[in-house]
Structure 1
Amino acid sequence: MTQRFKLESEYIELSKLLKVTGLCDSGGMAKVAIVEGQVKVDGSVETRKGRKIRKGQVVELAGNRIEVQ
């Protein structure tokens, strides 16, 4: 499933993006998924919870895809 997320500021932290888009129920769950290597940013595994996500980037988790606009 692909969803689009409209960014209202310069960036959003990866763990917060996963929470606000509903891919993770809580920030804690998002952080665990990231640390365990389940999350990809622009096709590469990302393990930094505070990774800054900006417009044009794509985040993937468990077959779900977020296009940041």
Structure 2
Amino acid sequence: MSIETVDVGSMIRLGQFLKYAGIAESGAHAREMIEAGDVEVDGEIETHRGRQLHGGEVVTVITEAFETTVRVG
């Protein structure tokens, strides 16, 4: 399976990344997904939207509506 890489250039917080990658429609939507336990970083559920991502992490989002996996570039 090929995982899309989303280049961010430098450190980005998880909530911002979900918006930047087009996974979340807004900051509020990102917060809802994270608080619901729908977001994994490197295979572990992440509940902090302020989690810093530095590149190389694999972010997976699984909701009732969709499932997607992207790598932070």
TM-score norm. by structure 1 comes to 0.90
The percent identity for this pair of structures is 34
Is contact 1:2–1:64 with CA below 8 Å preserved after alignment? no
Q: 1:37-48, aligned counterparts within 5 Å?
A: 37-48=37-48
- The 3-state SS of whatever aligns with 1:65 is strand
Q: Segments of 4+ in structure 1 off by > 4 A?
A: none
Q: 2:69 aligned with 1:68, yes or no?
A: no
Is contact 1:19–1:30 with CA below 8 Å preserved after alignment? yes
TM-score norm. by structure 2 comes to 0.85
Equivalent residues, number: 68
Higher relative contact order (CA 8 A, sep 6+): 1
Two-structure CA RMSD over aligned residues (Å): 1.3
Q: 1:19-58, aligned counterparts within 5 Å?
A: 19-58=19-58
Q: Which blocks of at least 5 consecutive residues in structure 2 are unaligned?
A: none
Q: 1:9-24, aligned counterparts within 5 Å?
A: 9=10, 11-24=11-24
